[in-house]
Amino acid sequence: MDKQIILLPGDGVGKEIMESAKRVLNTISSEFGHSFTFHQHEIGGDAIDQSGTPLPEDTIKACQHADAILLGAVGGEKWDSLPAYLRPEKGLLGIRKTLGLFANLRPVKGFSPLLDASPLKEEVIKGSDILIIRELTGGLYFGKPSERREDGEVVVDTLYYQRNEMERIIDKAFQSAQLRNNHLTSVDKANVLESSRMWREIVDEKSKDYPDVTVEHLLVDAAAMKLITQPDQFDVLVTENLFGDILSDEASVLTGSLGMLPSASIRSDGVGLYEPVHGSAPDIAGKGIANPLGMILSAALMLRHSFGLEKEALEIEEAVSQCLEQGYHTPDLHMKGGQEVGTKEMTEMVIDNLTTNSVCEQIGTM
Ligand code: NAD
Ligand code: IPM
Ligand code: MN
């Protein structure tokens, strides 16, 4: 398989973990006989420094013609005082919107060696396996441009959704539930927000088209509590943009670290951008200790969702699981025992497991 992949490392740890994903994909391409060609472009603070804008035209063009996109992270203190339209985050929001990547899939599934790495009790998190589906191109993030009145005393952010923007993400969530355990939790704030009341109506209307899926509505405040007290009660969780942003960082606690979570941002034709859920982690950037697994697992999601390479995606997930079973972990994972390693060593271990597994498979078929 011949694929053109755009790499947008971005800022902070984004650059460090992108290197890991690239090396893992190179291993997959040589083990499975694929040809992945990488094209690196700027986004975020990096792009502001090089080209004066967080989302240069050539980055947009390259992404529009790519088979898939991998993104590291954007943002950092250096650019925090710039006007809103010039911030690194605007680059990320811009590429999501321009490409129409409305469905953000954030799987939250713990690896068993990390059960004791979470501050939550093992009996609480055991068996949890959640797919958070976050609407990604609407809501408060993309309402009318935010305003601050001249005297500085009044601000306005607008939450804007069209019915069809809600319908398509809710359909996606029902379809995802059908491929999993047929349970959908819809999260909103229908006791306060009109947008949430419309969201809830649409979920109820759509549930008639998916009679095999059981539906539960939760208010977002209660959902936040239930996520870390009864996580095994969730299968697919669907929600709007801002709630999904917050709940997914919270849910990462189930897995032991924010550094573990991958994500896929896709549209109906399968075109996708893949990135870890975490940010540029300025507090550890440049130290060589960032956890590369969220990024590596995002590359696996790319193989699965954009290229249909299920076996290759599973191989990566299996290699990650084996590294953790062998006790290797970056410092963000508070595992009892095992060996603490940096980004590069962790990546080496994933690659070692990938190559060993494929040699074993070859011997097995001889
Ligand atoms: P963050 O996700 O960067 O970091 C939160 C905490 O998690 C930090 O303590 C960090 O060290 C830790 N962490 C994150 N990723 C890790 C990894 N791979 N390995 C080990 N530890 C990891 O969130 P923040 O500090 O609130 O934001 C920093 C910057 O990142 C901001 O500019 C923000 O806008 C940006 N951001 C970008 C994205 C993105 O590009 N998708 C996502 C979130 C935040
Ligand atoms: C994420 C991030 C982004 C978001 C920021 C950096 C704009 O937090 O991808 O989760 O809020 O969507
Ligand atoms: Mn976030």
289: left (phi over 0), alpha (psi -120 to 50) or beta: alpha
CA 310 – CA 317 distance, rounded (Å): 11
Q: pLDDT for 111-132, tens place per residue?
A: 999 999 999 999 999 999 999 9
* 290 in Cβ contact with 343 (< 8 Å): yes
Ligand 2 pocket test target in 93, 132, 298 with most atoms within 8 Å of CB: 93
- Cα separation, 289 vs 331, whole angstroms: 7
Domains 1-104+267-366 and 119-255 share a fold: yes
Positions annotated as catalytic residues are 141, 189, 221, 245, 249
DSSP 109-176: E--GGGGGGSSS-HHHHTT-EEEEEEE-SSBGGGSSPPEE-TTSS-EE---B--HHHHHHHHHHHHHH
- In contact, 166 and 199? CB cutoff 8 Å: yes
CATH 3.30.450.40 matches 119-255:
no
The pLDDT of residue 366: 61
Q: Say what the pLDDT of residue 358 is.
A: 73
On the CB side of 314, how many CA atoms lie within 13 Å of its CA? Answer: 5
Residue 278 CA: nearest ligand 1 atom is 2
CATH ID of 1-104+267-366, from 3.30.1330.10, 3.40.718.10, 3.40.50.300, 2.170.120.30: 3.40.718.10
Give 78 Cα–ligand 1 centroid separation in angstroms.
15
Interatomic CA distance for residues 208 and 150, integer angstroms: 49
Q: Give the start-to-end residue ranges of the domains of the chain.
A: 1-104+267-366, 119-255
- Both tokens assigned to 134: 């976050």
* Residue 332 in marked binding region: no
Cα of 88 vs centre of ligand 3, distance in Å, is: 14
Low-confidence ranges of the chain (pLDDT < 70): 364-366
Rounded-to-integer distance, Cα 232 and Cα 227, Å: 8
Ligand nearest to the CA of 258: 1
Helix (H, G, I), strand (E, B) or coil at 238: strand
Rounded CA gap, 337 and 334, in Å?
9
Task: Indicate the pTM of the whole model.
Answer: 0.97
Closest CA to 132 of 238, 26, 267: 238
CA pair distance 313, 303, nearest whole angstrom:
6
d(C-alpha 154, C-alpha 148), whole Å? 6
Q: DSSP 3-state assignment of 347?
A: helix
d(CA 184, CA 43): 35
Can you tell me the distance from the alpha carbon of 274 to that of 217, in angstroms, rounded to the nearest whole number? 28
Ligand 2, CB within 6 Å, residue ranges: 75, 89, 92-93, 245, 277, 279
Q: Give me the pLDDT at residue 365, please.
A: 62
Residue 292: nearest ligand to its CA?
1
Q: Is the dihedral of CA 134, 295, 179, 254 positive or negative?
A: negative
Q: Which residues contact 170 (CB under 8 A, 6 or more apart)?
A: 186, 199, 202, 203, 206, 238
Best residue among 89, 142, 239, 265 to mutate for probing ligand 2, ranked by most atoms within 8 Å of CB: 89
- Is the predicted ipTM greater than 0.95, yes or no? yes
What distance in angstroms lies between residue 201's CA and the mean position of ligand 3's atoms? 27
For all residues of the chain together, what is the average pLDDT?
96
Give the pLDDT confidence score for residue 287 in this predicted structure. 98
